[in-house]
Amino acid sequence: MSDKREINIRVPVLARVEGEGALSFTARDGRIEDLQLKIFEPPRLFEKFLEGRDYHEVPDMVARICGICPVAYQMSAVQAIESIFEIKVTPWVQAMRRVMYCGEWIQSHALHIHLLAAPDYLGYNSAIEMAKDHADIVQRGLRLQSLGNKLIGLLGARSVHPVGVCVGGFHHAPSLSEVESLYHELEQSIVDAEALIGWTATLPLPDDQQDFVSVALSNEQQFAIEQGRVISSAGLNISLNEYEQHFAEHQVPHSTAFHSLLEGQPYLVGPLARLNLNLQQLPQEIQKLVKQSGIHFPCQNMFLSIVARAIEIRYAIGEAMRLLKNYQVPNARKQTVTPKAGVGYGCTEAPRGILWHRYEVDAQGIIVNANIVPPTSQNQARIEADLRNSLEAYGLQHSDDELRLHGEMVIRNYDPCISCATHFLKIKVDRID
């Protein structure tokens, strides 16, 4: 047939936005070509800002990279710097960092499930709209989100850009009464978290099995959050200083976020990858809940990420309780710090996946250079691959609006830090029939 036509369709409301995220692809004979997920958050140059700064300025500085996961940035940074200075933090510090991190998982996951992802599956444009018909569901989500924020605030004074973490430990130790009152709240929220797992598992989630490699931290002692080695479902098992030999970031013309590849291939980081690799380390009671939900891991359907987030919320609540149960105000809340020159690495499990840092520091403790690989740039190549597979499987005969919504849902599964941008995803489909 000679009716080769090229149609440029723009969704009107989106044409009026300078989106930080945009999607474009060409459809030819039911196949997708030239798909690009464009991220345009203006370059913020943090790695350069860090140069010439004193080591103790780093936690306050890197927090500003992300308002939703500042704890992750602080934790990867102090781990790297402490390794250079050969500081071994006390068990109390290690435990409280994990507690604080649990707070960030709970907060970020609850926000993502309720305010960003769930409205798609129930046919609403926002959680605010959804609350009119499902008030109890949204309120439960907001309660969990608020619980996560309180846990961060316990050790950080506030949940966005907290001020408690320092190289060597913490600036402040919470009082016994503060901990006891929060422990009580954690205990009461278990019911909410368990109901949430069941609820996410009953959402009408598409069945979209795909082939991909999962990457996460692994720790022999416990489900990895704030420390571990980097492992993959393809057998990778490396220490943090070997990261650059296997993972490489490269720039693509259409994005200010780098694409990171493992041995040249896209890979997945985040809650689904973590459960795919480390599920067996969850407590028996939680593994039982997972079984009851009817979801089987390892799982290759990215749409089940929402269930994985709910499972991690339940785990984080129990883990924070375990660590706070016999809380005592410590004698020393931080180690004495003596700067040393060297290179160090830090990697922790941010809510949306591993966050790797590398710092070089001089003998005075001044940062010589820094390299930060956030989870969103690690997932970006995988998101593009997923979009190609998922949109083709969904069927390119669908209208632009339907394709846009499906594309947005795929992207939101990864909870990219451009979640907000994907809400006004620009879609440009060149249809060549």
Residues at the interface with other proteins (CB under 8 A): 13, 16-18, 20, 41-49, 53-54, 57, 60-61, 64-68, 70, 107, 111, 115-116, 119, 124-129, 131, 135, 138-139, 142-143, 145-146, 149, 157-161, 163-164, 166, 171-172, 250-251, 253-254, 256, 417, 419-421, 423-424
CB of 221 to other proteins, least distance (A): 29
Rounded to an integer, what distance in angstroms lies between the CA atom of residue 385 and that of residue 359?
31
Rounded to an integer, what distance in angstroms lies between the CA atom of residue 427 and that of residue 406?
11
Comparing C-alpha atoms, which of 155, 141, 142, 190 is closest to residue 70? Answer: 155
CB of 20 to other proteins, least distance (A): 8
Is 217 in contact with 224 (CB distance < 8 Å)?
yes
Q: Which is nearer to other proteins, 166 or 279 (CB)?
A: 166
Give the DSSP H/E element, type plus range, for residue 260: strand 259-262
Q: Could you tell me whether strands 426-432 and 21-28 are parallel, antiparallel, or unpaired per DSSP bridges?
A: parallel
Is 104 in contact with 153 (CB distance < 8 Å)?
no
Q: Is the peptide bond before 298 cis (omega within 30 degrees of 0)?
A: yes
Q: Which is nearer to other proteins, 406 or 412 (CB)?
A: 412
CB of 408 to other proteins, least distance (A): 12
Q: Which is nearer to other proteins, 228 or 374 (CB)?
A: 374
Rounded to an integer, what distance in angstroms lies between the CA atom of residue 427 and that of residue 30?
17
CB of 76 to other proteins, least distance (A): 16
Give the dihedral sign, CA 213/214/215/221.
negative
70 DSSP assignment: H
Question: What is the residue type of 372?
Answer: I
What is each CA distance from 314 to 3, 78, 356, 420, in whole angstroms? 55, 27, 25, 25
CB of 235 to other proteins, least distance (A): 30
CB of 171 to other proteins, least distance (A): 4
Q: Which is nearer to other proteins, 116 or 304 (CB)?
A: 116
Could you tell me the two tokens for 185? Answer: 């709240």
Could you tell me the two tokens for 325? Answer: 């149960």
Could you tell me the two tokens for 222? Answer: 């416990």
111 DSSP assignment: H
CB of 232 to other proteins, least distance (A): 26
Q: Which is nearer to other proteins, 205 or 417 (CB)?
A: 417
Q: List the beta bridge partners of residue 248.
A: 261
CB of 317 to other proteins, least distance (A): 17
Q: Which is nearer to other proteins, 67 or 395 (CB)?
A: 67
Name the residue with tokens 């109390």: 92
